[in-house]
A = this chain, B = another copy of it.
Amino acid sequence: MVEQPRVAVVGTGLIGGSILLRLHAVHPDVTGWDPDPRTRAEGRERGIDLPDELADAVRDRDLVFLAGPLPSLPETLLTVAKHSGEHCVVTDVGSTKGGVARFAVEHGLSGRFVPGHPMAGTERSGLTSADPTLFDGAAWVLCPAADGIVPFRMLVGLLVNVFAARVVPMSPTVHDSVVALSSHIPHLLAGSLAGAVSGSEIRDAVLGLAAGSFRDGTRVAGTPARRTADMLFQNREQVVRQLGQVSAFLDGLADALRRDDLDALVRHYRRAQGLRDALRDRDLRACRQEFPTDGDHVAELAYLLELGAAGGYLTGCRIEDGVVTYVGHRPATADPA
C-alpha cells in the first residue's frame, strides 16, 4: 500500500474535475488529462498539471481515475494500462459496472482495475461546474475482486480520507440492478414527464404552474441528453427489468383512480410513504471487522459484499501487522441472520 499515492485523473468533466480539484487541494502532486484542449487550459489556470498527452499524465502514477464518457471507457482503460506501470491501480466512475468489470477480466486487468461509481453528480457538466466537495458524505461504490483486494483496500482508505465518501462494496451485478432503481429509473421517469410536457398543448401553462413537485420530478431531465442516454443504454437490461416493478405500481395507482377506489389509493401511498420514512429514519450501527491480509480473502469478500447488499458502507480501512481492519456501518434493521 502506498502512503500518499501519486494520482492522475483522466477525463476532467463534472465528476473527474471534482475528483481532480479535491485531490489537488490535499496534495498538489496530481495530474489530469482531458481530450478537450480548452478544458486542459482551464485546469492549468487553476495551477494543476495537465499534460497535452494522456501517456504523460499517467506514466509514473500509482493510481488513475477514469472519468471520461461511458462509451470511451474500455478503450481508455487499455490505453492507460499500456502507458502506466504494472503496479498502477486504475479505477473508474462509470454508472454501470458489469460491462467494464468483464472487459477488465478479459484483458487480464482485474488485478489492478477496481470498478467504481460515486453516487454524486448534478444535471450540470464540465470542469467549470466541478466542485471539490461533491463527494462529501456521498456513497461511492467499489467492486472488490479476489485478485484485486489489495488495490481495493488502498482505494477505500483514499476515498474515505480524501473525499469523505462512504464506500459501498458491491459486486458489479448487484450494483447494476440497484442503480437501475436508485438512479436510472428516476432519470427515466423525469425524462418521461419533461418529454410529455414538451409535446403537450398546455405546455406553456404547465411551465407557469411548475412548483416543487414538477421541478424536483424533472430535474435530472436537464442533464445533457447524450450523457443520460449513454447511462441508460449501458444498463438497459437491468433498467428494463426493474422498470417492470415501477410500471406495475403505477398501473395499480392508475387502476385505483379509474375504479374510483380511494381506499386502494391510500393503501398504495402508505407503502410509498413508508419507503420515504425508511429513507429518512435510517439508523446505522458502526462495527469493526478484521481479516488477515494474506490468504484467499473469501471471508473478507463475503463480508464486504454482504455489507453493501444490506445497505451498509465502509468509513475506514487500516492495515497493520498482517491484519486489515474495516470500519463498517450496517442498517440496524438489516443485521445478518
Contacts and interface: CB of A to CB of B under 8 A. Distances in A.
A84 to B, nearest CB: 30
Contacts of A228: 269
Taking the full assembly, how many copies of this chain does it contain? Answer: 2
A223 to B, nearest CB: 7
Contacts of A170: 205
Contact of A119 (B202, B211, B252, B331): B211
> Chain A binding site: helix, strand, loop or mixed by DSSP?
helix
Interface of A: 119-123, 138-139, 141, 168, 170, 174, 177-179, 181-183, 185-200, 202-226, 228-230, 232-233, 236, 239-240, 242-243, 245-250, 252-254, 257-258, 260, 262, 265-266, 268-280, 282, 308-313, 331, 334
A217 B247 CA distance: 15
Given A204-B331, A254-B243, A278-B207, A189 B189 contact: yes
Given A225-B269, A245-B200, A257-B240, A213 B190 contact: yes
Contact of A178 (B206, B257, B276, B312): B206
A211 B186 CA distance: 10
B257 A239 contact: yes
22 contacts: A122-B212, A123-B276, A139-B208, A174-B202, A174-B205, A178-B206, A178-B208, A181-B196, A186-B193, A186-B216, A188-B250, A195-B253, A199-B245, A199-B249, A204-B310, A205-B309, A205-B311, A208-B331, A216-B216, A221-B272, A221-B275, A230-B262
A233 B260 CA distance: 7
Contacts of A312: 208
A268 B191 contact: yes
Nearest to A187: B213
Q: Which 7 A-B pairs have the closest CB atoms?
A: A222-B276, A225-B269, A208-B311, A204-B311, A186-B217, A192-B250, A194-B272
